[in-house]
Amino acid sequence: QVQLVESGGGLVQAGGSLRLSCAASGRTFSTYAMGWFRQGPGKEREFVAAISWSGDSTDYADSVKGRFTVSRDNAKNTVYLRMNSLKPEDTAVYYCAAKTYYSGTYVYGYDYWGQGTQVTVSS
């Protein structure tokens, strides 16, 4: 079992920045990768970013590449998502997820999820 708790969401003006945190507990030693997903109003949940267990490999959705950065601090069992140059279309509930097995992609295959944290970007 892996437990995930997101934090750091809030209200920010367009062009601003936020850093989300995901604190993991439980059997974190078995985590293959950590991912960030989001679901905007009236939209389906979409992949945002991911990082391998070792932190040496990352992946990003085209919509956030160059603006968002995912990182990992294994000593603190925490994954971060730094979001710069935020746009109103980034408004969504952001979820942290843990992937415990290899499936050939970072986009699918996550079996543990956090409760989500709201990010609202005003124009």
The encoded tokens of residue 94 equal: 């952001």
Q: Is the per-residue pLDDT at 117 higher than 80? A: yes
Strand ranges inside the chain, DSSP E: 2-7, 10-13, 18-26, 33-39, 46-52, 58-60, 68-73, 78-83, 92-99, 112-113, 117-122
pLDDT value of position 95: 98
| DSSP single-letter state for residue 107 | S
Q: Is the per-residue pLDDT at 24 higher than 90? A: yes
Average pLDDT rounded to a whole number, residues 71-80: 91
Q: Is the per-residue pLDDT at 31 higher than 80? A: yes
User: Contact 68/46 with Cβ under 8 angstroms?
Assistant: no
Q: What percent of the chain has pLDDT over 90?
A: 80
Which of 34-38, 42-46, 53-57, 112-116 has the weakest average pLDDT?
53-57
